[in-house]
Structure 1
């Protein structure tokens, strides 16, 4: 029985059952069902069984008994490539867990979005096209676009790194920023799922657009909050003001607030860490709606002719008893 009952008119046909798609997807994506155990996969790839099990968990999948048939030739091929990368020194063993976890989290989010999109397509087919035909047509196209986007980001990242001194990641000094939606929790309780989705989509689109325009990088977005970095202090300050102004210009969108801090940052596997990140987060948490707060170090770097900077009273926040925020605004028009 297929997910659609062939030969039944669309008016009489039952609704599409997504659970029936599992076997179809498995057959298409991995050329048939599982034929190998974890132990067999490890032996055929030449990788230690314990390491193979660890990698599977790092990717975000539940543990599988060593002798349970749950794997395919594709798993053997993937482990062979991974082992080769380790042997070449491309993947250092001490960083392997972090790398694989990052890879797993990234693709898990991507797969979740793509699966929902694909199910939406299948549910509107009204039985006119078998699911296997839909998969055969759509998935190679998605895979091709996915590869293209990855290569473009690889080039963009390589270009950014080439334009600055290649030093230890811990020696980099950046502006770190957080921007969040004011009153998100209370507002989201009163919104329909569709309206909430539209608001989050607007937020992510605007943040990404403005950060990129100012030469920055969006590190991650988490619902009502986004974390970004910018090399140039002036560009970071202008970006923060633009984020606030863009939200205020849209009557249907709530205000945002921004916190910026400048200092040493550890960049690792697409994320950033350190006290500079923590200070930016704390500044955002105490900022008023439609306001920008910056730390003392960034305030000293900014040209006071281009911005209005006012020191506010010190605040006590988690980890910092005497944090000194500075309010950032545009200069008054003469």
Structure 2
């Protein structure tokens, strides 16, 4: 196999954001192993960055070198993990701000929203981070205000960050830990898993691309349908359908905190996973969608209040059968504000308060919810005006039961 073109010490230092002296020192310590001609591997960019990160965490570079020399540690796995390592460009953030006419404050806010470290004006921009500027410039040129750009980036940053953190934990739990438990040394485990990781990453990246486009297609069609209905109504072709208001649902598990204290964190994680599986399955079956996970519960959105109540009754019945504590649910129907993937407004707040009032295995709903439902095999028992925390006036609440 043809060896990749080597990097001189000067080029390696430049792309890794280090000095030539630092690169030469790492070579003397055995952390970097130059080719016979004195050149270095592209993956040495990541070795320099990794050693610097370890040093910042309090591990002396000399100790890393001794561990490598003694055979207790090897960084050879980085050759497989990072086949195309990204270095630093020659441009600083100050340079690009001047080039694009951006303020450094806007760049800082972009990084914060994306969940990336906040740069300084004199910091050199990573080669792969350069694409942030033309993309940002295009979006701004369409007239989107900076606040809108930041909100959108925060949605991407938070969700992609959660995905990558979950991937790392998944890989550690199901690939690395079993090897270590079976007696493999850390350096052996790293060498073996470094061969598996790139293949898994390639599969996951393909899956993310596919799933993103599936969800995108659904969202676009759903959005376009609304505009087409509006256009037809304005043209006098057909009146727009007036459906019921949407419903917000809050579900909590009774005694979750006590249960996790008794059984430990692993049991809490298993319980959360069981709840997520049940909630995802039942809500999709009824046309709803989980919006936000709340540790011991979840918030849903349903376009149809009737389906919201049906799903809530399904969940309180099936939770104990799935090995979970009893669930209690609050449902409220009314207008909501959708922004950045979340729902806001009084309808949401009241639904949360109603859930807090519900007892184990109970589904409580508002008067607005009852009024929006017709022709369902569900009956409602009034429990009278109820005072709820944070609300100025008592609310008429009803207990939902199977008809």
**Structure 1-normalised TM-score?**
0.83
Partner of residue 324 from structure 2, selected from 228, 236, 253: 253
Higher fraction of helix = 2
From 105, 130, 136, give the equivalent of 1:50: 105
* CA pair 313-145 structure 1, distance change in 2 beyond 3 A: same
Among candidates 151, 163, 166, match of residue 110 of structure 1: 163
- State the distance in 1 between where 2:177 and 2:98 align: 41
How many Å separate the matches in 1 of 2:162 and 2:390?
31
Q: How many residues align?
A: 315
Distance 1:40 1:136 in 2: 35
After superposition, the Cα gap between the structure-2 partners of 1:163 and 1:182, relative to the gap in structure 1 and judged at 3 Å, is farther
2:151 corresponds to which of 72, 82, 98: 98
Distance between the aligned counterparts of 1:13 and 1:290, measured in 2? 59
Q: Is the aligned partner of 1:296 residue 2:358?
A: no
Deviation at 1:24, TM superposition (A): 4.0
1:47 positional shift: 4.2
Q: Any stretches of 5+ residues in structure 1 without a counterpart?
A: 6-11
Equivalent-residue separation in structure 2 for 1:135 and 1:249 (angstroms):
37
The higher-RCO structure (CA 8 Å, 6+ apart) is 1
Question: What is the CA–CA distance in structure 2 between the aligned matches of 1:270 and 1:74, rounded to whole Å?
Answer: 27
The 3 A distance-change label for structure 1 pair 54 and 296 is same
For the residues of structure 2 that align with 1:77 and 1:44, how far apart are their CA atoms?
14
Secondary structure of 2:298's counterpart equals strand
Please state whether the residue corresponding to 2:263 is helix, strand or coil: coil
Root-mean-square deviation (CA, aligned residues, Å) is: 3.3
Moved more, 176-185 or 33-42: 33-42
- Whether contact under 8 Å (2:244, 2:304) holds in the other structure is no
Any idea what SS the aligned residue of 2:116 has? coil
Pick the aligned partner of 1:74 from 128, 133, 137. 128
**Which residue in the other structure is 1:271 paired with?**
342
For 1:175, which of 234, 242, 247 is the aligned residue?
247
Give how far 1:273 is off. 0.5
Unaligned 5+ residue runs, structure 2?
Answer: 1-30, 32-46, 51-63, 65-69, 231-242
Task: Output the TM-score relative to the length of structure 2.
Answer: 0.69
* More displaced stretch, 296-305 vs 195-204: 296-305
The answer to whether the Cα contact below 8 Å between 2:87 and 2:127 also exists between their aligned partners in 1 is no
- Tell me which residue corresponds to 1:149: 211
Aligned residue number for residue 290 of structure 2: 218
- Structure-1 separation of matches of 2:367 and 2:288: 21
Task: Give the Å deviation of 1:46.
Answer: 6.0
**Does the 8 A contact of 2:336 with 2:344 survive in 1?**
yes
Q: Is the 8 A contact 2:114 2:153 kept in 1?
A: yes
Counterpart CA distance in 1 for 2:88 and 2:253 is: 46
Contact kept? 2:328, 2:359, Cα under 8 Å: yes
